[in-house]
C-alpha cells in the first residue's frame, strides 16, 4: 500500500457521511471500473445502483476468518493483483472464467495496482470443477469430491458461477446437501437464459440464487424463475483475467450472472466475518435471509421472478448487526411441540442420509421405507420483550441445526438436513413454526425423532424494514406499470381493517393478493375484471382466511396483463 486509504465525504440528505474508499478508487480506476461497488460518480447511470461498498467498509472490510471456495475453472495464481490462494488448483487450458470470478472476491485491495474486491481479506480457494460439469469430461463423482474437499478445508461460502440442468444435476445433489449440513452457504448463478432452471441455484436448501442488473437497475438476461433470491451488478464489470488466455494486461470488462454471483459471495463473506468479531456464529440460513432482507427493489416492489428480493446492499445487510438503535437480532431454540397432524396416509419415501432416532448420528439411514409423515407445529416466543417498536421477521435455521425434516411428497426424497419454517407471519410476541417427522409404525422407527423431541432452531430480526430505499420510506407509495395504468397505494403501518387503494386507467383483469414473507397467499382481495377508476379493497383478516391475521410484515401484490406490482404492508393489530 502506497498511502493510507482515503476518506471521502459523500452527501446523505442534510448531512455528510465519511465513507472508506480504497486507494484504487481515486488513483487507478475510473468510476466505470468500480460502479458495482460505488455508483455515485458513474455517468449515464442511476445513482446508488450498486452494493454500497464504501458505506459497508466503514463498518468492516473483512478478515481471513472466511474461506470462499471458488468452484469454477482454474485460477491464475500468478496474477499480480490476486491474494494467495488457500487451495491451489493447476491452471488448465480453460482458466479464464475462474480468474474473473476470483478477482471480485480475492483481489488485493487498497494497494497501488489493479482492482478492489468486496471483501478485502477473505481467503479464496480454487476448486477446478468446471471441466466436470459438462461434456466431454462430465463426472458427478469429481464434482462431489471437489465440493466435499472445499467443505473439509473449512469453506463457509461456496461460489458457483455456473449452472447444471436436471436430471444430471441430481447426480451430485448429495454433495450440496452435505454443504448445507456443514453450514456452508452456496451462492449460485441463475444463468443468462431462461431455457431451463439451473442447479445448484434451484435447490432451496442452503442455496442463494443470483440474478444480474446493469447500472440503471434493469434486470439483464432472462434468468427469471422462482429460485431468484437477489440480484447484483452483472454488466460491464471490471475484474481480473488470465494474461495468457483471453485478455491483455490482466484485466477485462465482462458480465453475466456468473459475475454478479461473486459480488454477492463477497457481501456474504463480509457479513459472516463481521459476525465473528461480535462473537456470533451466523448460520447459512441467517446469512441468506439477511442478504434478502437487506436488498432493495429494482423491479416491482417486493419479491419478483427476475430480481428476487432486489439488489443486494452490503451496508444495509451489515447494519442489521452493526446498528443496535435500528435493528436487533437473536438466535433462539425450543424443544417439543404444540400440535401435530398425523392424518396423512402411509406411503413410500426415499430416505437419503436421514438420522434415525436411537441410532448413532454417524450412521444415517439411506433406503426406501413405508412411512407416515407427521406435521409438527410449535408456537415459540422470542425470549425477551421486543427490543424495538417494529414487527420482527422470523426464519428457521436448518442444515445441522433444527431436529426436524423438510416436507416431501409421496415417492419423493427425504434428505437428512434439518428444517423448520414459519407457518405464518410473526406477531410482536410469538411465531408458529412447523417441521416434519416420519414414522414407521410397524417397528416404531422415527426419522429424525419422535414429534415430542423436535428441536427448533430459529432466528428473529427486528427492524428489517427500518432502512429506507429508493422505493421505501413511510406513507403511501404509488407505482405505475404498463399501458393499462395500474396504481396501488398502501399506507404503513395499518391496524384493524387494512385498506388498499387500487386505481386503473381502463377496465382490466387483475388479481390482488396479500402474501406473507414466505410468499404464501394469505388473502385474495380481488380476482377478475376490475372497472376503471379507483376502488378501496379491504383485508379484514378473519379466521376463515389462512390461519387468520397477526401483526407482521406482508406483501400486497397485484398481477395483471402488464406485469406485477407489489408493496410492503406492515400490520400492527
Q: What would the pLDDT profile of 118-164 be if each residue is shown by its tens digit?
A: 999 999 999 999 889 887 788 999 999 999 999 999 999 999 999 99
**Considering the chain, what percentage of its residues have pLDDT values greater than 90?**
57
Cβ partners under 8 Å of residue 170, min gap 6: 199
* pLDDT tens digits, 343-364: 899 999 999 999 999 999 999 9
- pTM for the predicted model, two decimal places: 0.83
514: pLDDT confidence band, cut at 50, 70 and 90? Answer: confident
Task: Please state whether the peptide bond connecting residue 136 to the residue before it is cis, i.e. omega within 30 degrees of 0.
Answer: yes
CATH code for the part of the protein at 61-322? 3.40.50.200
Task: Kindly write down the DSSP assignment for every residue of 191-260, as one continuous string.
Answer: -S-SSS--BTTT--SSEEEEEEE-TTS-EESS--STT--EEEE-SSEEEE--TTTT-SSSEEEE-SHHHH
Q: What is the pLDDT of residue 573?
A: 60
Domain spans of the chain, in order of start: 61-322, 329-462, 480-571
| Mean pLDDT within 265-291 | 97
169 pLDDT more than 90: yes
**263 to each of 117, 146, 208, 393, how far by Cα in Å?**
8, 22, 12, 25
Mean pLDDT of 37-52: 91
Q: Which range scores top for mean pLDDT: 74-78, 101-105, 202-206, 533-537?
A: 101-105
**Predicted pLDDT at 138:** 87
- CA distances (Å), origin 221, targets 193, 218, 243, 258, 262: 6, 10, 28, 12, 17
Confidence of residue 224 (pLDDT cuts 50, 70, 90): confident
Distance of CA 503 to the CA centre of its chain: 33
Looking at the chain, the whole-number percentage of residues with pLDDT higher than 70 is 86
Burial of 4 (0-12, 13-18, 19+ CB in 10 A): exposed
What is the per-residue pLDDT for 38?
Answer: 94
More confident: 12 or 275: 275
Please say if the pLDDT value at position 482 is more than 80.
no
SS3 323: coil
| Residues ≥6 apart with Cβ < 8 Å to 444 | none
Residue with cell 442489521: 320
Please tell me the predicted confidence (pLDDT) of residue 193. Answer: 79
Q: How confident is the model at residue 544 (pLDDT cuts 50, 70, 90)?
A: very low
Judge whether residue 371 has pLDDT over 70: yes
**Does the structure show a pLDDT above 50 at 471?**
no
Q: What is the pLDDT of residue 41?
A: 82
The hierarchical CATH code for the domain 480-571 is 2.60.40.1930
Amino acid at each position: 500500500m502506497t498511502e493510507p486509504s482515503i476518506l471521502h465525504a459523500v452527501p446523505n440528505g442534510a448531512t455528510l457521511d465519511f465513507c472508506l474508499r480504497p486507494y484504487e478508487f481515486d488513483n487507478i480506476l475510473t468510476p466505470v471500473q468500480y460502479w458495482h461497488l460505488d455508483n455515485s460518480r458513474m455517468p449515464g447511470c442511476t445513482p446508488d445502483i450498486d452494493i454500497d461498498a464504501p458505506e459497508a467498509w466503514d463498518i468492516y472490510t473483512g478478515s481471513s476468518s472466511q474461506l470462499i471456495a471458488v468452484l469454477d475453472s482454474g485460477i491464475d495464481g500468478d496474477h499480480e493483483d490476486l491474494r494467495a490462494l488457500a487451495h491451489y488448483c493447476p491452471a488448465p487450458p480453460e482458466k479464464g472464467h475462474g480468474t474473473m470470478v476470483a478477482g471480485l472476491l480475492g483481489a488485493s485491495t487498497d494497494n497501488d495496482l489493479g482492482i478492489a474486491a468486496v471483501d478485502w481479506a477473505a481467503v479464496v480457494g480454487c476448486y477446478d470443477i468446471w471441466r466436470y460439469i459438462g461434456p466431454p469430461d462430465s463426472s458427478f463423482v469429481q464434482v462431489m469430491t471437489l465440493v466435499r474437499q472445499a467443505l473439509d478445508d473449512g469453506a463457509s461460502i461456496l461460489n458457483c458461477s455456473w449452472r447444471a440442468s436436471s436430471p444430471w444435476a441430481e447426480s451430485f445433489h448429495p454433495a450440496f446437501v452435505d454443504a448445507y449440513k456443514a453450514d456452508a452457504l452456496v451462492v449460485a448463478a441463475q444463468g443468462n437464459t431462461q431455457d431451463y432452471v439451473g442447479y445448484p441455484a434451484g435447490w432451496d436448501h442452503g442455496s442463494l440464487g443470483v440474478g444480474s442488473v446493469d447500472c440503471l437497475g434493469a434486470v439483464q438476461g432472462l434468468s427469471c424463475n422462482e429460485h431468484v433470491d437477489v440480484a447484483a451488478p452483472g454488466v460491464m464489470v471490471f475484474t481480473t483475467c488470465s494474461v495468457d488466455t483471453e485478455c491483455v494486461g490482466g484485466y477485462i470488462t465482462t458480465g453475466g450472472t456468473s459475475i454478479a454471483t461473486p459480488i454477492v459471495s463477497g457481501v456474504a463473506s463480509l457479513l459472516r466475518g463481521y459476525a465473528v468479531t461480535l462473537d456470533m456464529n451466523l448460520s447459512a440460513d441467517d446469512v441468506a435471509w439477511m442478504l434478502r432482507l437487506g436488498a432493495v427493489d429494482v423491479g416491482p416492489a417486493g419479491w419478483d421472478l427476475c430480481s428476487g428480493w432486489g439488489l443486494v446492499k452490503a451496508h444495509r445487510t451489515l447494519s442489521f448487526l452493526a446498528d443496535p438503535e435500528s435493528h436487533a437480532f437473536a438466535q433462539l431454540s425450543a424443544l417439543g411441540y404444540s400440535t401435530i397432524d398425523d392424518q396423512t396416509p402411509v406411503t413410500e419415501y426415499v430416505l437419503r442420509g436421514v438420522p434415525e432416532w436411537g441410532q448413532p448420528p454417524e450412521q444415517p439411514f439411506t433406503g426406501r421405507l413405508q412411512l407416515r409423515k407427521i406435521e409438527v407445529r410449535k408456537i415459540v416466543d422470542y425470549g425477551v420483550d421486543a427490543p424495538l417498536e417494529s414487527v420482527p421477521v422470523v426464519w428457521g435455521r436448518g442444515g445441522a441445526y433444527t431436529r426436524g425434516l423438510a416436507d416431501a411428497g409421496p415417492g419423493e426424497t427425504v434428505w437428512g438436513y434439518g428444517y423448520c419454517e414459519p407457518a405464518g407471519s410473526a406477531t410482536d410476541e410469538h411465531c408458529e413454526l412447523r417441521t416434519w417427522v416420519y414414522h414407521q409404525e410397524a417397528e416404531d422407527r422415527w426419522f429424525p425423532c419422535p414429534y415430542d423431541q423436535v428441536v427448533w432452531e430459529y432466528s428473529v430480526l427486528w427492524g428489517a424494514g427500518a432502512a429506507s430505499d429508493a422505493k421505501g420510506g413511510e406513507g403511501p407509495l404509488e407505482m405505475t406499470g404498463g399501458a393499462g395504468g395500474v396504481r396501488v397505494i398502501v399506507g404503513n403501518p395499518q391496524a384493524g381493517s387494512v385498506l388498499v387503494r387500487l386505481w386503473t386507467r381502463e377496465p382490466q383483469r387483475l388479481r390482488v393478493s396479500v402474501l406473507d414473507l414466505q410468499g404464501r397467499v394469505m388473502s385474495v382481495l380481488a380476482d377478475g375484471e376490475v372497472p376503471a377508476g379507483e376502488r378501496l379493497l379491504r383485508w379484514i383478516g378473519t379466521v376463515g382466511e389462512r390461519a387468520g391475521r397477526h401483526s407482521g410484515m406482508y406483501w400486497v401484490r397485484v398481477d395483471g396483463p402488464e406485469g406485477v406490482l407489489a408493496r410492503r404492508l406492515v400490520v400492527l393489530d
